[in-house]
Structure 1
């Protein structure tokens, strides 16, 4: 088992939970982090103390949430020296049944696509305006490289999500990070329901490269423009194929 290569993205999906539904909120956040590839298969989740502190829950609640993920077959925990909770979840290729799972969610998903065209270009613009430290620049480059090196459509989908979460993290706004995380979760569900198109992946990868280059160059206007085009292209593809 290996340490997670995406530790810097933990803050993009794990936030303090409130109210009387801490257990359910922990399960949702951790499962989302795993589905979106923040914690890829065969990597180890952060220590329980760190996760509990980040989500502002007791370690007992955190353990119950991890137990639920074990019951769902998403993780496996070993105790003792050198132990930890390892991600078992394997990203799935798009499937026909995924389209049926979207039934009744059309208004929510259309709204998510519209919201994405507002929030993600803004995140890219903010990231380009900031003086990014070396660790953040490296995170962006590493996530971009992982998208290009993905060996399967399912791996590409997770790497794509990680890159968008990395861009949101680089913008430095917690509210924006939370918004992009929700948008990416909805987007993941929709993309699972359409065929993988090589031409679209090539086009998307070229846009990703342009977005990251603009951010690293501090070109906020170009970063916003290319991200806006990227979001619009994805929305058009989804509206066409999902009806």
Structure 2
């Protein structure tokens, strides 16, 4: 007799269009696709892009503003501008992150499987121009004038680029999802020359392994890199001192 597996059906609630617009814009800001002080498209343009009303767009922008991700500026050069996420880090305090720590652990576990796997495939499939782009990112990350926001942006681009170089759209999508969840925590981490050097060395070693086509080494380097990142975040969240540098 064939036994049918139990179906895991869950209730869902209809998503408002403004929620969808908010999610897309928040992701783009968190992933640094819109940089600090960059102006978002106008309400009219966003309404066209999302095929929505300007009122709906305005609702989404208001939510972004309430989270300290954007601000509206008036005047001849007015509009909606992206704020440095680290400027409003006080809005994500340690208590909030502690309350959601079980969820963050799940993201860490997911990341420890996905990103090393993406690096493994990337070592076999990466193109010359993709390698050069990674070299450029890593070089820029160690420059003396690399600001905190620029450094965080470069870090995101490096990891997304490795995922894309895997040649697998599922890895690409998964790493975007991971970075959207984990970036707010990374944006709260201290920024110093030591942090820059540590990240530079890890990324430099990864590029060398990718260039050599060494899939096992690429996977292992990525695993150690993100394991160190998870440990640093946990130490920051549960330390006695505040998040301030």
Using the size of structure 1 for normalisation, the TM-score is 0.71
CA distance in 2, matches of 1:148, 1:122: 26
* 2:51 is the counterpart of 1:59: yes
Structure 1 unaligned spans of 5+: 1-18, 78-82
1:152: Cα distance to partner?
A: 2.6
Match of 2:20 in 1: 25
1:147: Cα distance to partner?
A: 2.2
CA distance in 2, matches of 1:51, 1:121: 36
* 2:127 is the counterpart of 1:145: no
Q: Secondary structure at the match of 1:92?
A: helix
CA contact (8 A) 2:46 2:57 kept: no
Which deviates more, 39-48 or 231-240? 39-48
Cα-to-partner distance string for 1:92-133 (whole Å, 9 max, x where unaligned): 258455323314201000111121111111111111111525
**RMSD in angstroms over aligned alpha carbons?**
3.7
Q: How does 1:59-138 map to 2 (within 5 A)?
A: 59-60=51-52, 64-65=56-57, 68-69=60-61, 72=65, 74=70, 87-92=81-86, 95=89, 98-132=93-127, 134=129, 136-138=130-132
CA contact (8 A) 1:127 1:168 kept: yes
1:60: Cα distance to partner?
A: 2.4
CA distance in 1, matches of 2:213, 2:39: 34
Match of 1:36 in 2: 31
Cα-to-partner distance string for 1:117-155 (whole Å, 9 max, x where unaligned): 111111111111115253x33432333233223623333
Using the size of structure 2 for normalisation, the TM-score is 0.70
What is the aligned residue count? 217
CA contact (8 A) 1:121 1:227 kept: yes
CA contact (8 A) 1:40 1:87 kept: no
CA distance in 2, matches of 1:132, 1:51: 34
1:59: Cα distance to partner?
A: 2.5
CA contact (8 A) 2:39 2:80 kept: yes
CA contact (8 A) 1:124 1:168 kept: yes
Distance change >3 Å, CA 178–CA 196, structure 1 → 2: same
Match of 1:6 in 2: none
CA contact (8 A) 1:42 1:88 kept: yes
CA distance in 1, matches of 2:113, 2:170: 13
Q: Secondary structure at the match of 2:138?
A: helix
Structure 2 unaligned spans of 5+: 1-13, 239-245
Rg larger in structure: 2
Q: Secondary structure at the match of 1:102?
A: helix
